[in-house]
Structure 1
């Protein structure tokens, strides 16, 4: 049974005539009349007796109206309840983040203060998750996007910075060109044990002989602060130490490649109110959360 046709039938009964119902529903009268006739043919009964004075229910029509009206009222109530929940934004939001992405910790804290009814389930990993298989609503992705089944919301672009502690520079001097890094102990970020770390410094590709390779930027940050290594760090991890002199930025004339930050969600899934609120919140609040790190990150 066509639910829309049943709704039209109920509207005709409540309005008292086809013409009045057509006006109320903003549906052309011939369309409304045709849909009622189609419903009668589908049920193989006459639902309405038409006259110049309007319409009158048949016994079969009365039976359908009483049942259908209750069902439509229940559906309307359910719809109002769902819309109310969405308006109040209550529910679970499942997220994926890279490790050590500290600005997002503050961002999520602000998000939950604004939307206390939203519960967060955060999955932290350096691997590229499958949003469908891993049950993730939105993933934060750093780097190029090459997945046709995903929608990418670009947030901003930034560059990692090459840093060292003052004590290390006192021992080895300050490098003036990428080749000078050969005399320094270097530490690199690696996604897998098999990968070879390379730094694209401006137009020059430099392959450090790393004394340490790890997929943990917090570890690299710690070793740089101890004055043990030259390493690359995301700007938000290095910013405070650069400001207070505990780290020094190296080779500013040879910048590391630009990184893209995107939020991904499945293209075939219409984003819920909660997902839309999260996407808009990240877009609007991220510059404020980055705060002093903003100078190292250019808007996309």
Structure 2
């Protein structure tokens, strides 16, 4: 049964005539009349008695109207409820973030202050989650993104910084070239034990003498500050420690490569108003949040 034709039939009954219903629906009168006739042929009954004074329901038409009008009313109420929730931005937003990307927590706090009726659930993990399987609306991802089923919006790029503690430098000396790092105990970020970590320092690739590998930048930070290792860390994590001289940047003439940051979400035809609002909010507020952390970034304003 053609639900659109049912809706037109209900509109005709409520309007009292085909011409009035056509005007209310914004549908040409011949089109509306044809759709009603098609519905009658499909049901094999006459629904309306037409006359110069308008239309009158037949017995079969009365029975159909009683049921169809309730159904149409329920659908309109459901649509209004959904639209109302979206207009008030009331609902759930499910996010995935790397555990170490601390500036984003400040952004989320500002987002929730502006939209208090949105309940945010954050799945904090270093692993690559499956957005569909895990029910994630938007994920913050580091590095290049290649996924045909997802939309990846570039937010910013920044470089990690190679650091060590002053006492480790005092003991082993300041490295002048990447090759001299072979004299130093190093710690690396790695997702798995079987992955060999490398550092791209300027134009040179280095395989550090890794005495520790871990998928937690916070632990790498602690090991570096305690004077045990050389490691590479996000700039927002080392900013204060460098300022307070608890960490020293190494080989600034050989910078690590840029780290692109993306917001990743499923390629839906119509992302929800909540997701669109979150993406727009990120576009608006990421510069302020990261500038407050003294991160030198290359931003892409095409998010959203």
TM-score range, shorter chain: over 0.9
> What SS does structure 1 have at the residue aligned with 2:293?
helix
- Pairwise CA RMSD of aligned residues? 1.9
C-alpha contact (below 8 Å) 1:149/1:266 kept by paired residues: yes
SS at match of 2:271: coil
Determine the C-alpha separation between the residues in 1 that align with 2:207 and 2:16.
83
Deviation at 1:249, TM superposition (A): 1.9
Matched, 1:114 2:114: yes
Name the TM-score, length of structure 1 as normaliser: 0.92
**Per-residue Cα deviation, 1:67-98 (whole angstroms, up to 9, x for no partner):** 32222222212211121122222222222222
Instruction: Give the match's secondary structure for 2:27.
Output: coil
Normalised TM-score (structure 2) = 0.91
Return the alpha-carbon distance in structure 1 between the equivalents of residues 17 and 294 of structure 2: 64
Are 2:251 and 1:243 aligned?
no
CA distance in 1 between partners of 2:34 and 2:182 (Å)? 83
- Unpaired runs of at least 5, structure 2: none
1:36 offset after TM fit, Å?
0.7
Q: Match of 2:45?
A: 45
CA distance in 2, matches of 1:177, 1:292: 32
1:12 aligns with 2:12: yes
- Residue 230 of structure 1 is matched in structure 2 by 230
Moved more, 30-39 or 286-295: 286-295
**Secondary structure of the corresponding residue to residue 119 of structure 2:** strand
Aligned counterparts of 1:281 and 1:196: Cα–Cα separation in 2: 38
Q: What is the alpha-carbon distance in structure 2 between the residues aligned to residue 235 and residue 298 of structure 1? A: 14
Deviation at 1:269, TM superposition (A): 6.6
Partners of 1:292 and 1:212 lie apart in 2 by 31
TM superposition shift of 1:248: 2.2
Shift of residue 63, structure 1, vs aligned partner: 2.5
8 Å Cα contact 2:158/2:295 also seen in 1 = no
Matched, 1:259 2:268: no
Count the aligned residue pairs: 300
- Name the counterpart of 2:217: 217
Instruction: Name the residue aligned to 1:151.
Output: 151
Q: Give the match for residue 63 of structure 1.
A: 63
Q: Which consecutive residues of structure 1, in runs of 5 or more, have no partner in the other structure?
A: none
